[in-house]
Chain A
Amino acid sequence: MTAAEGVPGAAWRRADGPPAQDRERRRRSGGRPPRPGESVVGEAEFTSYYGRPVIKPPVWKTPDVPLYLFLGGAAGTSALLGTMAELTGRPALARAAHLTAGGGALTSVGFLIHDLGRPARFLNMLRVFKPTSPLSVGSWVLAPFSALTTATAGAHLLGRFPRLRLLTGLGAAALGGPMTTYTAALLADTAVPSWHEAHRELPFAFAGSAMAAGGGIAVACSPAEEAGPARQVAVTGALVELAAMHRIEHGHGLVSEPYRTGRAGRLLRAARACTVTGTALTLAAGRRRVPALLGGALLAAGSAVTRFGVFDAGLASARDPKYTVEPQRARAAERDAAAAGAPS
C-alpha cells in the first residue's frame, strides 16, 4: 500500500447521523481498557464501513463442522490406540478403539458432506490434490482413513479376517496422526483473524483435544486392566489441550479476545471445566469402573466443546471488523515506522 499522503484521515468523520455515531460510541465505551503489552494502535482511529465485517464470516454450519472436527480427531487417536492395542495383545481395548475410529470417521465424513452446498458433488474433493488447500489434503487423508477404519471395525464386528484386520488397522494408524491435526490447518488457513493468528498453537490444541477424546472414549469403553495406555494418552492429551488453549486464549492480544468473551468464552470455560474434572477423575479412578467411565466421558465432552468454542471464536472475530482492521493497522504502522527509522 502506498503511504498515505498528507494528514491521515484529515479529520474527516462519517456524517451519517447520530445513530451511527452512537453505535460507534457504545462500541468504544463497551470495550475494556487494554492490557499491558496489548496493541492499541489504531483504536482511536478505528473506523469501519457501517460496522460491516471486512471479511466474509465462514458459511460453515454448526454443529456440522465442530462435530466433524471433534469426530475426526477422536477417530484419529482411536485408530492409533486400537492398532497399538492389537499389537500388544489387548483385544478388548483394540476392539473398543477400532469401533470408535470406524464410527467416528464415518460420522465425520457424513457431517463434512452434509455441510457442503452441493453434497452430491462430494467426490469433486478428490478431483485434484492441492497441498495449498488443507481441505484437499484433508480429504485425501480422510477418504482412505475412513475406508480403512470402517474395514477394521467391520472385521471386529464380524469377528473374522484377523490378518486383513491387522493390515487395515496398520494403514488406519498411519493416517491417524494427520487425522488429528489437519483440521487445525483447515481453520488457520483462512483470513479469520482469531484462527489465522493462532496457526502455531491450533495444531497442538487439536492434537491434545484428539488425544483427550480418543483416550477418554477408550478408557470409558474398555476394561480397566487393558485401559492403562489409553488412560495415559487421555491425560497427556488433556494437559496438552489445556496448555495450548491457554496460549490461544491469551497469547495474541486483541485477536485472543474472542476466545474469552461471548458465547465462545462461555463454551471454552465449560470445556476447560470438563477437561480438568475429567482428568482428575481419570487419574483417581484406578480400576473402579464408574469414575473411569465418567472421567472418559468428561474428557471427550471437553474436547467436543473445545471445538465448538474455537469455531465460535473464529466466527466472532470474523464478524467484528475491529479484529480484522486493528491488527492490520498496527502491522502497517509498525512497518512504516521501521521504514522511516531505517536510513534511506
Chain B
Amino acid sequence: MTTISSASTAFSGDDPRNRLFGPVPDVAGERGYGEDHPPRVGFFTDTSVCIGCKACEVACKEWNTLPMDDAEGNRAQLGLTGASYDNTGMLGANSWRHVAFVEQSRAVDLPMPTVGAPGSAGGQRPLADPPVVHPGVPASSTTAEQSAPQQTTSGDREIRWLMSSDVCKHCTHAACLDVCPTGSLFRTEFGSVVVQEDICNGCGYCVPACPYGVIDQRQDDGRVFKCTLCYDRLTDGLQPACASACPTESIQFGDLDELRARADARLAALQEKGVEGARLYGHDEDDGVGGAGAFFLLLDEPEVYGLPPDPVVTTRDLPSMWRHVAAGAALVVGVVASAFAGRRR
C-alpha cells in the first residue's frame, strides 16, 4: 500500500478533476490506497420503515462506549426536550446516531359524519386501512414491505410519524476532512471519514465546516468525535453495530453501489404505491458533497428532519477564497509600499 495522505489531493496535481467538488468514482483510491482496497461501503437508511426504537442509538453508544449527555451535549446531564420522543436532540460528540421524531397532521376531506348504530365504528379508535403491499401478500408480514406504516387517521385529521435515524454522511467531499489542519481526520480504505483521536488537538475547525452539523467537540475532553462507520468492526469483517441492531432493516449497510441500486428500487416501489413525498437524499453523486456515503429515503422535505436541503461542501469555493485572500494581501502590501514610496523625509 502506498502512503496514505490525510491532505486532500486538491492542488497536488494528482487528479485534475473533481478534487474539491463533484463525483469521485473511487474515493479511497483517490486518496492513495492501492488497487486492492475494499469497495466503498455506507448506509442506506430507509426511513419509511423506521419504527423509532432507537436500537441503533443504543448499540452505537454501547459499542463505542460513548458518555452520557443531554440534548445539548452537556456531559452527564439528563434532559427532557419536549420534542416528541426525541431526548437525544442532535448528532454530536456523544451521539453518533440520532433518531428524529416528527409528528405531523393534516386535514383530510372526509365524507359527512354519519351517526352510526351503536356498535359500529363510531367511538372506536379509527384505524387506517392496512397498507396494501402486493396482491396476496399480507400487509403485516414485514414492515419493510409496508408503504406507510406510521400513518393513520384521527377524527378529521390524518396523522403520521416521521422517524429517521441520522448519522454522519461520510461525504465524498468531506468538509470536515478538508479543513482539518492536523490531519487527524482521514479517509479510510472503506471510503469512510474517521477522526484519529490521538492526533486531534481540538482546534474545532471541522465543527462548523460540516454542512450537516454532525461532528462536535466533547466537553471536558476538548477533542471532536463522530461516527467512525465502525472502522474497528469493519476491519474485523463485522457490520456496524447500529445496522446489526436495527430490527426493521431501516439501516442497511453494504457496498455503496449495491445500496444505491437497492434504494432506487425501493423508491420506485413506494412511488408506484402512491406514497407522497418519498425521495432519496444524499445518493446523487452530482450533489453538493459529491454524494454521501450514508444516504436516506425520506418522506418529507429534508429540513423537516433537520437536514440541509441543498448542502454544498464549503471547500468547493476555496480556490475563489484563496484568490481573494491573495488579492487582499497584495492590496495591503501595495498600500504600505506606496505610502512610503510617495514621500521624502
Q: Which stretch from A25-33, A102-110, A206-214 is at the chain B interface?
A: A206-214
In the complex, A131 Cα to B343 Cα: how many Å? 38
How many A-B Cβ pairs are below 8 Å? 329
> Quick one: given A55-B213, A58-B208, are A80 and B336 in contact (CB under 8 Å)?
yes
CB contact list, B190-235 vs A, under 8 A: 199-205, 207-217, 221-224
Partner-binding segment picked from A181-189, A281-289, A293-301, A302-310: A181-189
Measured between beta carbons, the chain B residues less than 8 angstroms from A180 are 328-329, 332
Contact B301 A9 (CB under 8 A): yes
Select B318's contact among A47, A127, A189, beta carbons within 8 Å. Answer: A189
Which of A145-153, A158-166, A264-272, A317-325 lies at the interface? A317-325
Name the residue on B nearest A234 (C-beta).
B339
Known: A117-B217, A118-B223, A132-B315. A127 touches B208 (CB 8 A): no
Whole-angstrom distance from the CB of B71 to the nearest CB of chain A?
9
B140 at the interface (CB under 8 A from A): no
A150 to B311, CA, bound (A): 43
Tell whether, in the assembled complex, residue B300 and residue A199 are in contact, meaning their CB atoms are under 8 Å apart. Answer: no
Whether a CB of chain A sits under 8 angstroms from the CB of B134 is no
Q: Are A207 and B331 interface neighbours, CB within 8 A?
A: yes
| A9 CA / B303 CA spacing, docked (Å) | 11
- A247: interface (CB < 8 Å): no
Query: Judging by beta carbons under 8 Å apart, are B160 and A12 in contact?
Result: yes
Residue A223 at the chain B interface, CB threshold 8 Å: no
Cα separation A9 to B162 with both chains bound (whole Å) = 12
Enumerate B250-282 residues with CB–CB distance to A below 8 Å: 267, 271, 276-282
Q: Judge whether A117 and B202 touch: CB under 8 Å.
A: yes
Query: Please, what's the 1-or-0 string for B308-345, where 1 marks a CB less than 8 Å from any CB in chain A?
Result: 11110011011011101111111111011101101101
Contact B81–A318 (Cβ < 8 Å): no
How many angstroms from the CA of A19 to the CA of B83 in the assembled complex? 11
CB distance from A96 to the nearest CB of B (A): 15
Measured in the bound complex, the distance between the Cα atoms of B271 and A182 in whole Å is: 49
Question: Are A117 and B203 within 8 A (Cβ)?
Answer: yes
Residue numbers in B under 8 Å from A48 (CB-CB) = 303, 306
Across the interface, do A233 and B309 meet the contact criterion of CB distance under 8 Å?
no
Instruction: Please state if A133 and B180 are interface contacts (CB–CB under 8 Å).
Output: yes
Write out the residue numbers on chain B whose beta carbons fall within 8 Å of the beta carbon of A178. 325, 329
- Asked whether A13 lies within 8 Å of B8 as measured between CB atoms, the reply is no
| Residues 161 to 208 of chain B near chain A (Cβ within 8 Å) | 175, 178-184, 199-205, 207-208
Pairwise interchain contact B306-A132, C-beta atoms closer than 8 A: no
Closest chain-B Cβ to A123's Cβ sits at a distance in Å of 8
Whether, in the assembled complex, B103 has its beta carbon less than 8 Å from a beta carbon of chain A, the answer is: yes
Please tell me if A67 contacts chain B, counting CB pairs below 8 Å.
no
B8 touches A132 (CB 8 A): yes
- Kindly state the separation between the CA atoms of A80 and B332 in the bound complex, as whole angstroms: 9
Inter-chain contacts of A344 with B (CB < 8 A) = none
Contacts of A124 in B (CB 8 A): 182, 184, 199-201
In Å, the complex CA distance between A58 and B204 comes to: 7
Asked if A176 is at the interface of the complex by the 8 Å CB criterion, the answer is yes
Q: A325 vs B327: C-alpha distance in the bound complex, in angstroms?
A: 31
**Is B307 part of the contact surface with A, judged by Cβ < 8 Å?**
yes
- Is there contact, CB below 8 Å, between B339 and A233? yes
Given contacts A76-B332, A229-B343, is CB(A199)–CB(B201) below 8 Å? Answer: no
The number of chain B residues with a CB under 8 A from chain A is 103
Are B300 and A12 in contact, with the CB atoms below 8 A? yes
* Residues in chain A near residue B327, CB distance under 8 A: 203-204
Q: Does A236 contact B (CB under 8 A)?
A: yes
What separation, in Å, do the CA atoms of A186 and B53 have in the docked complex?
40
In the complex, identify which listed stretch (B35-43, B59-67, B104-112) lies at the interface while the others stay far away.
B104-112
Beyond A13-B106, A77-B336, is A129–B7 a contact (Cβ under 8 Å)?
Answer: yes
Contact in complex: A118, B222 (CB < 8 Å): yes
Query: Closest CB of chain A to B66's CB: distance in Å?
Result: 17
A3 — which chain B residues lie within 8 A by C-beta?
279
B321 with A188: CB separation less than 8 A: yes
Which of A177, A188, A202, A228 has the largest count of B CB atoms less than 10 A from its CB? A177
Contact B277 A229 (CB under 8 A): no
Interface flags for A328-344 (1: CB within 8 Å of B; 0: not) read 11011001000000000
CA distance A317 to B302 in the complex (A): 19
Q: Is A200 an interface residue (CB 8 A)?
A: yes
Cβ-closest chain B residue relative to A197: B317
The answer to the question of B284 belonging to the interface, with a C-beta cut-off of 8 Å to chain A, is yes
A85 to chain B, nearest CB (A): 8
Determine if A116 and B325 form an interchain contact, defined as CB atoms under 8 angstroms apart.
no
Residues on B with C-beta less than 8 A from A9 are 277, 300-301
Q: Are B301's CB and A8's CB within 8 A?
A: yes
Given A5-B278, A19-B82, A54-B308, 19 more contacts at CB 8 Å?
Answer: A9-B300, A10-B276, A15-B103, A57-B208, A58-B204, A80-B333, A90-B345, A117-B223, A130-B178, A180-B332, A181-B325, A184-B324, A185-B318, A189-B317, A190-B314, A207-B329, A207-B332, A229-B340, A331-B310
Q: List 18 A-B contacts (CB under 8 A).
A: A1-B310, A2-B280, A7-B277, A14-B103, A54-B308, A56-B208, A80-B336, A84-B337, A116-B222, A130-B7, A130-B181, A135-B181, A135-B205, A177-B330, A188-B321, A189-B209, A203-B321, A325-B303
The chain A residues found within 8 Å of chain B, CB to CB, are 1-16, 19, 45-50, 52-60, 76-77, 80-81, 84-85, 87-90, 115-119, 121-122, 124-125, 127-136, 138-139, 176-178, 180-182, 184-186, 188-192, 196, 199-200, 202-204, 206-207, 210-211, 228-230, 232-233, 236-237, 240, 314, 318, 321, 324-325, 328-329, 331-332, 335
